[in-house]
Amino acid sequence: MIDIAKNLEDVRNRIEKAQQKSPTKNPVTLIAVTKNHPPEFVKTALNLGIKDIGENRIQEAQEKFQHLNLDGIQKHLIGHLQTNKVNRAVELFDLIHSIDSEHLLRAVARSAEKIDKIQDILIQINLAHEESKSGIDLDSLDSLVEISQELPSIRLRGLMFIAPNFEDVENTRPLFREMFSQFRRLRDKMNLEILSMGMTHDFEIAIEEGATHVRIGTAIFGVRNYE
């Protein structure tokens, strides 16, 4: 049996330690990534004080959320979003981390407008130019930021990044550092609070380099079963 309580305590301790070495020393928000895990696991995490949960697929999240009381819980969409699922994503999620094109951004804006919502978003960056990952190139960041600011139903809250799965996890450090420097540059011009980066294998380095939000699944819930 997986001991979620013990795992969570361990993760929280590790986060706190890394925080001491971070540029701001500010508290870091832990997003418990519940994808591929049943509602009971989510309930356990909520009982242990988790206030933020992350899912990466719309269909799965919609089914799971029906079984849960999520009042006061922040729901994060962390996975790639297809345009045809934007309506449901806007209904279901407080924060969409994976905005990575003007087309998607405008679709989310239209969807939010229809239901009188102001949708919080992050722009996802693909720093390492990995083919397999979504996210925009750094070159396109400023223009996407500008467009987001012209859309009244969109509130840009920050940036999101998934680091490559390097064999030596230290190799992520310069990338996290670059993300923080982009975040700081934009933050000087507008009100941004969220830098979402760091997962089970690299969250301590992400925090040390300035992450405000980490997305952690495996270290809390164990290895996912992909069927």
**Positions in the binding site for ligand PLP (CB under 6 A):** 33, 35, 56, 78-79, 162, 199-200, 215-219
Residue nearest ligand PLP (C-beta atom): 217
Q: In the complex with ligand PLP, which residue's Cβ is closer, 210 or 217?
A: 217
Q: How far is the CB of 80 from ligand PLP (least distance, A)?
A: 9
CA 19, 24, 27, 28 torsion-angle sign: negative
* Residue 221 C-beta: closest distance to ligand PLP, Å: 8
User: Residue 94 in contact with residue 70, Cβ under 8 Å?
Assistant: no
Q: For the CB of residue 214, give the shortest distance to ligand PLP in the complex, in Å.
A: 8
Cβ proximity to ligand PLP, 108 vs 163, nearer residue: 163
CB 97 within 8 A of CB 157: no
**Separation between Cα atoms, residue 208 and residue 205, nearest integer Å:** 5
CB of residue 125 to ligand PLP, shortest distance in Å: 13
| Contact status, residue 131 vs residue 172, Cβ threshold 8 Å | no
Nearer to ligand PLP, 108 or 162 (CB): 162
Closer residue to ligand PLP (CB): 96 or 151? 96
Question: Which of 5/169 has CB closer to ligand PLP?
Answer: 169
Encoded tokens for 63: 């089914």
Q: Least CB distance from residue 15 to ligand PLP, whole Å?
A: 13
